[in-house]
């Protein structure tokens, strides 16, 4: 194993620190001194895997299709106990056991605070397209990144121990049911004004060292975003669009939060946009929508995850369709 990540391995109801010279192993019922940054590797004994062909859908629509697929293959299966990953040309469906559901609900912070949560099988299937894998009880045969018929022999199967021995880091992050990421600032309310003051100070310092061309670009970007909001709310071209917008909103005691909007725009402007073109933005009733074009669905999914990391909010792809220029999409989240 060659990685600097702090990776904890959950197996047999015990949590073990993998990449450490110390023999650090904890019972789940004991107090576990988890560090600030760590990843979780979940043994496949807690899970069951299926696969289906990749389809042209995202967000809630894709989730509904996956749940319907599982219902037809496993009638009576509780579809709230599943997650899925889009890997290459397949959708890998992860069904959790009742035992693992109890572990999640009893140790929620351990999952919600982890940087990555994944399994040896998911890591292997994202690296190799054809192999046989055994979790000690179940045997899976993978062909072209899809789970096919189970193999009859375990002699040639890979296992979690072999993966851990050769592991060079984790590359996936499974969104298990019931786990919701929370901002670390939520538990430290005094950090919010401190971070805001620090941001203002950094803006002041940067403003004295960047060139005038960068100023003009930033100003143009913000002006375009603001004009988009005015256009979508029907106040563009008026003598006082901001005032009319406040009037239309009817917020005497709850004025339009300009500071919040500026913060949102600043977050979006710093998200990496490789192979992404943003075309319009809208902000209404605390919901922010981003419209644009991505090179393909893989780029779109990467951008969605980077948006969630930056905004610390759950970002949903509300619409997507292929076009001559790529994938036309709409993202939405509440702020």
Q: Does the residue 201 lie in any domain?
A: no
Q: Which of 300, 249, 256 is nearest to 275 (CA)?
A: 300
Share of the chain above pLDDT 70, in %: 80
Asked if 36 and 88 sit in the same domain, the reply is: yes
For the stretch 204-237, pLDDT in tens is 667 666 656 666 667 777 777 778 877 877 777 7
Q: Does the residue 117 lie in any domain?
A: yes
Q: Mean pLDDT, to the nearest integer, of 297-320?
A: 86
Instruction: Report the SS3 class of residue 126.
Output: helix
What's the 3-state SS for 232-290? HCCCCCCCCHHHHHHHHHCCCCCCCCHHHHHHHHHHHHCCCCCCEEEEEEEEECCEEEE
| Residue whose entry in the numeric block shows the structure tokens 């193999």 | 151
pLDDT of residue 252: 44
152 vs 92, residue with greater confidence: 92
For the stretch 5-33, pLDDT in tens is 788 999 988 888 887 655 577 888 777 77
Asked if 306 and 162 sit in the same domain, the reply is: no
pLDDT of residue 43: 93
8 vs 196, residue with greater confidence: 8
Count of structural domains within the chain: 2
pLDDT of residue 210: 60
Q: What is the CATH number of the domain that holds 32?
A: 3.30.420
pLDDT of residue 196: 63
Burial class (CB in 10 A: 0-12, 13-18, 19+), 102: exposed
Asked if 267 and 118 sit in the same domain, the reply is: no
Q: Does the residue 143 lie in any domain?
A: yes
C-alpha of 1 from chain center? 26
Asked if 34 and 173 sit in the same domain, the reply is: yes
pLDDT of residue 119: 92
pLDDT of residue 192: 55
Average pLDDT, the chain: 79
Q: Does the residue 305 lie in any domain?
A: yes
Share of the chain above pLDDT 90, in %: 8
pLDDT of residue 250: 57
Last residue of a domain, one of 129, 159, 181: 181
Asked if 177 and 215 sit in the same domain, the reply is: no
Q: Which of 117, 53, 58 is nearest to 87 (CA)?
A: 53
309 vs 284, residue with greater confidence: 309
Q: Does the residue 254 lie in any domain?
A: yes
Q: Report CA torsion sign: 52, 53, 59, 61.
A: negative
Asked if 133 and 16 sit in the same domain, the reply is: yes
Instruction: Report the SS3 class of residue 197.
Output: helix
Asked if 127 and 219 sit in the same domain, the reply is: no
Angle at CA 281, nearest 5°, toward 275 and 284?
145
pLDDT of residue 41: 92
Q: Does the residue 164 lie in any domain?
A: yes
- Which residues, listed in sequence order, are joined to residue 293 by a DSSP beta bridge? 277, 328
Alpha carbons 254 and 29: distance in angstroms, whole number: 46
Which pTM does this prediction carry? 0.51
Q: Judge whether residue 82 has pLDDT over 60.
A: yes
The domain of 319 spans 211-334
For the stretch 132-164, pLDDT in tens is 888 888 888 888 888 876 656 666 678 888 888
pLDDT of residue 152: 60
């Amino acid at each position: 194993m060659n990685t600097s990540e702090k990776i904890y391995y959950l197996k047999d109801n015990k949590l073990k620190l993998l990449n450490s010279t110390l023999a650090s192993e904890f019972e789940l019922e004991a107090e576990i001194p988890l560090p600030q940054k760590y990843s979780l590797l979940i043994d496949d004994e807690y899970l069951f895997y299926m696969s289906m062909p990749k389809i042209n859908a995202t967000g809630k629509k894709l989730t509904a299709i996956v749940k319907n697929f599982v219902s037809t293959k496993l009638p009576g299966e509780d579809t709230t106990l599943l997650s899925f990953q889009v890997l290459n040309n397949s959708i890998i469906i992860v069904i959790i056991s009742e035992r693992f559901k109890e572990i999640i609900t009893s140790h929620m912070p351990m999952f919600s605070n982890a940087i990555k949560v994944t399994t040896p099988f998911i890591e292997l299937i994202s690296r190799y397209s054809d192999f046989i894998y055994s979790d000690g009880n179940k045997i899976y045969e993978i062909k072209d990144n899809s789970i096919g018929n189970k193999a009859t022999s375990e002699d040639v199967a890979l296992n979690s121990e072999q993966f851990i021995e050769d592991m060079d880091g984790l590359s996936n992050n499974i969104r298990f049911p019931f786990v919701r990421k929370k901002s670390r600032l939520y538990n430290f309310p005094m950090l919010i004004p401190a971070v805001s003051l620090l941001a203002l100070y950094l803006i002041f310092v940067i403003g004295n060292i960047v060139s005038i061309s960068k100023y003009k670009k930033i100003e143009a970007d913000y002006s375009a975003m603001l004009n988009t909001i005015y256009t979508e709310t029907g106040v563009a071209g008026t003598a006082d669009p901001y005032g009319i917008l406040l009037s239309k909103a009817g917020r005497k005691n709850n004025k339009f939060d300009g500071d919040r909007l500026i913060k949102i725009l600043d977050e979006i402007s710093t998200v990496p946009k490789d192979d992404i073109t943003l075309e319009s933005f809208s902000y209404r009733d605390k919901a922010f929508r981003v419209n644009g074009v991505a090179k393909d669905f893989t780029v779109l999914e990467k951008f969605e995850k980077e948006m969630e990391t930056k905004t610390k909010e759950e970002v949903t792809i509300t619409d997507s369709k292929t076009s001559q220029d790529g994938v036309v999409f709409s993202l939405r989240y509440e702020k």
